């Protein structure tokens, strides 16, 4: 699937609960030092996803999440929303097949 970039208010499509997908996202804006990683971890856990969220040296945040496609897309919608801590300017993301490498969701 291709790389996508969108504003904080783009919407995502739905999918089948049986589709296991991987989201690789990079979140830009004022997203470090505001609790963004921990809120992202909590949201991902509520959705039953596995993966990790981490700060990047350039001030962005990396999010990797795996699970059912509808739940992963809900996380992506949340990442792009105004409900996140801080201020999201844009989210670049890519979908691929889940690899099953995570046992839970963690913040690094």
3-class secondary-structure state, position 50: strand
Length of the chain: 108
Active-site residue (options: 55, 83, 90, 99): 55
Structure tokens at 32: 């470090």
Alpha-carbon distance of 102 to 92, in angstroms, equals: 21
- Decide if 3 is catalytic: no
Active-site hit among 22, 26, 37, 73: 37
**CA of 96: how far to CAs of 32, 49, 87, 105, in Å?**
26, 15, 27, 18
Is 37 labeled as catalytic in the residue annotation? yes
Question: Looking at the annotation, which residues are catalytic?
Answer: 37, 55
């Amino acid at each position: 699937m291709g790389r996508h970039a969108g504003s904080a208010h783009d919407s995502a499509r739905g999918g089948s609960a049986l589709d296991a997908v991987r989201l690789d996202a990079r979140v830009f804006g004022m997203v470090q030092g505001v609790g963004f990683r921990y809120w992202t971890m909590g949201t991902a856990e509520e959705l039953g996803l596995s993966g990790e969220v981490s700060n990047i040296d350039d001030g962005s945040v990396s999010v990797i999440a795996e699970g059912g496609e509808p739940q992963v897309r809900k996380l992506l919608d949340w990442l792009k929303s105004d409900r996140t801590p801080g201020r999201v300017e844009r989210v670049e993301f890519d979908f691929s097949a889940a690899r099953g490498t995570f046992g839970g969701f963690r913040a690094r």
